[in-house]
Amino acid sequence: MIRSILAAGVLLASTGAFAQGAFPARPITMIVAFPPGGVADITARPTAAAMEKILKQPVSVTNRPGAAGAVGNAAVANAKPDGYTILMALSSISVIPAADELFNRRPAYALDQFAPIALISADPTILVSHPSLPVKTLKDLVALARARPGELSYSSSGVYGALHMPMEIFMHATKLKMRHVPTTGGGPAINAILGGHVALTAGGPAAISGHVKAGKMRPLASWGATRHASYPNVPTFMEMGYKNVEYYIWAGMFAPKATPDAVMKVLRDTARKTVADPDFRKAMAAVDSLVQYKDAPEFQQYWMADAKRLAGLVRIVGKVEAKK
């Protein structure tokens, strides 16, 4: 009798261990720290759709905007590390802690609270103007901005956000003064220029592609080291003589730190299969965004190098709020 009870206990224990290890056993939430319409959201949705097919579980995209991405990023940083809450982040994830340090503020989160899963895409931002602005080239814009200091306005995804930093880098290099109109994310920043509320913005190819093709925006320059394949006629700032004006908006997936290795392996394997999914690749190609997949170890190195560079840029740009 005792032997039977012990055997049953071993069986139940092994069954429980198996059940706990069967990830995922329920839906996964992918947090996007910005409203719909920006690069993070546009990348997250086909990513989540492909992951659902692979994992046989729902993967829902939830937008948690606020404070240039700090609200959504912090939500994942402090989430239970079980793999059921993950983040589709932009390069600005690295900027926010550097800005907090610059202002001597309590940090919203720390970079070491995240475990990288995979880099999904990386694109240079593109400077675009409203078609009503009387400029056709970067040279035209610089001349106009010099003639009208502080008059031209540009939208961004928030102070120190992924669309604000490239504009500050550009203005710092050219000594131009323009009026900053921060919004809650890339989507609202795009809507601001489409509505004629601002003259300029910096946008990732995924967010501006359709509007450029429709003639609702005019691309003037790229922050890349080389010309973007989908914008072969758009020069880079570098080739126009601005040697240090370079910036990339990347999208990558993260889980909270301390997520179990077995769970991370499932998420990493799923990300690798996702970027090879035909529907995913078609969706990314449709918005002219380059898939730049890197698995967790390579992504970690890429991220840390980029974070170091961006922290340096934050110090160069300085206290933006103090300039107002």
Give the C-alpha separation, 245 to 174, whole Å.
10
Report the mean per-residue pLDDT for the chain: 91
Domain count for the chain, please give it.
2
pTM reported for the whole predicted model: 0.83
What pLDDT, on a 0 to 100 scale, did the predictor assign at position 13?
A: 40
What pLDDT, on a 0 to 100 scale, did the predictor assign at position 5?
A: 43
**Does 138 lie in the same domain as 110?**
no
Q: Say which CATH number the domain at 234 has.
A: 3.40.190.10
What pLDDT, on a 0 to 100 scale, did the predictor assign at position 2?
A: 44
Last residue in a domain, options 213, 247, 281: 247
Give the C-alpha separation, 42 to 28, whole Å.
18
What pLDDT, on a 0 to 100 scale, did the predictor assign at position 4?
A: 46
Strands 218-222, 126-129: pairing kind: antiparallel
What pLDDT, on a 0 to 100 scale, did the predictor assign at position 21?
A: 59
**Does 281 lie in the same domain as 241?**
no
**Does 237 lie in the same domain as 185?**
yes
**Does 278 lie in the same domain as 201?**
no
Within a domain: residue 2?
Answer: no
Within a domain: residue 219?
Answer: yes
Burial of 176 (0-12, 13-18, 19+ CB in 10 A): middle
**Does 270 lie in the same domain as 210?**
no
Beta strands in the chain (DSSP E): 28-32, 59-63, 85-90, 114-124, 126-129, 153-156, 179-182, 200-203, 218-222, 248-256, 291-295
**Does 294 lie in the same domain as 197?**
no
Within a domain: residue 148?
Answer: yes
**Does 147 lie in the same domain as 241?**
yes
Q: Say which CATH number the domain at 284 has.
A: 3.40.190.150
Within a domain: residue 262?
Answer: yes
Last residue in a domain, options 208, 226, 247: 247
**Does 159 lie in the same domain as 111?**
no
What pLDDT, on a 0 to 100 scale, did the predictor assign at position 3?
A: 46
**Does 113 lie in the same domain as 37?**
yes
> Which residue range(s) make up the domain with 311?
26-122+249-317
Residues of the chain with confidence (pLDDT) below 50:
1-19, 322-324
What pLDDT, on a 0 to 100 scale, did the predictor assign at position 323?
A: 44
**Does 134 lie in the same domain as 243?**
yes
What pLDDT, on a 0 to 100 scale, did the predictor assign at position 10?
A: 43
Within a domain: residue 6?
Answer: no
**Does 118 lie in the same domain as 155?**
no
**Does 285 lie in the same domain as 217?**
no
Within a domain: residue 7?
Answer: no
Within a domain: residue 99?
Answer: yes
Within a domain: residue 256?
Answer: yes
Give the C-alpha separation, 277 to 297, whole Å.
22
What pLDDT, on a 0 to 100 scale, did the predictor assign at position 313?
A: 85
Last residue in a domain, options 247, 263, 282: 247
